[in-house]
Amino acid sequence: MGILKRVKQFFLAETNGLLDKCEQPLHMVNQYLREFNQELAKGQKALANQLFIEKRQAALIEETEAAIEKRNRQAKLAVKQGDDHVAKLALQEKLMQEKKLTAYQAQFETIQGQTKTLTEKIDQLLVQSEEYNHRRLLLASRVNVASSLKDMNQTVVSFQTENIAKGFARAEEKVLLIEAELEAMTHFSSTTKRTAPQYLDPNLTSEIEQALSELKQQE
């Protein structure tokens, strides 16, 4: 049971560590950018498909216009040859192609509108992509500065609470010791300078006076 408990604790610690890492600002932003770029890629693919549809519709319109012109020439030629039946068939095909052309042109306008809307949306996404990348760079710079300051502050706090107070105490003790030594040296030095007595002994008064008189006569 002890081993299983330790394994569970280790697993939870690793999981929490990964979650904390995933929740870091840059990791979050990078994930958002990946998701955004995926959506942008979808939009670009949709635009490519839309442009293909537009080109295909344009080609269909050109083919229909060419068919109309062809049937019109056939109808004119049949009339010149006096073949009304062939002329009527050509004109009938021409009218059917003209109806198709009208429908194709209406569809083409709708497709062009869709292409324009999609292009504008892609342009907006590209602008947003540039803005998001710029904001990511700024955020990375802010995270770097904030992390550096945080590390510096943690170092300073640890140093102040443990070493600085002890260092000041030791320095103060040394200063007190130096001051005590100086005071002791000063005291002993002053005592040495005062080896002669600073008062007159009454028992030696007459001898002192005589010695003083003899000293003055020597002058």
Q: What is the CATH number of the domain that holds 35?
A: 1.10.287.620
In this structure, the number of other CB atoms found within 10 A of the CB of residue 75 comes to 19
Angle at alpha carbon of residue 218, lines to 217 and 219, rounded to 5°: 90
Give the predicted TM-score (pTM) of the model: 0.54
| 57 contacts 107 by C-beta, under 8 angstroms | yes
Tell me, what's the pLDDT at 19? Answer: 43
Is residue 163 included in any domain, yes or no? no
Distance of CA 165 to the CA centre of its chain: 38
Residue 142 lies in a domain: yes
In a domain, 33, yes or no: yes
Considering the domain boundaries, does residue 172 fall inside one? no
Q: What CA–CA distance (Å, rounded) separates 217 from 210?
A: 11
Q: State how far the Cα of 57 lies from the Cα of 46, in Å rounded to an integer.
A: 16
Q: How many domains does the chain have?
A: 1
The pLDDT of residue 67? 94
Asked if residue 40 is part of any domain, the answer here is yes
The pLDDT of residue 109:
96
Asked if residue 205 belongs to a domain, the reply is no
Within a domain: 162: no
Euclidean distance between CA atoms 29 and 133, whole angstroms: 10
Q: What is the DSSP-derived secondary structure letter of residue 200?
A: -
In this prediction, residue 18 carries a pLDDT of: 46
Full residue range of the structural domain in which residue 13 is found: 2-154
CA torsion through residues 35, 36, 39, 40, sign: negative
Note the pLDDT of residue 20: 46
Determine, yes or no, domain membership for 75. Answer: yes
| pLDDT one digit per residue (tens) for the chain, 219 residues | 455 555 455 445 554 554 445 457 778 888 888 888 898 899 889 999 999 999 999 999 999 999 999 998 999 998 888 888 988 999 999 999 999 999 999 999 999 999 999 999 999 988 988 888 888 888 887 777 776 666 666 555 554 555 656 766 777 777 778 777 777 777 666 555 554 455 566 776 777 667 666 666 765
Residues 210 and 187: their CA atoms lie apart, in Å, by 36
Using N-to-C axis directions, what is the helix angle for 2-22 and 25-80, rounded to 10°? 60
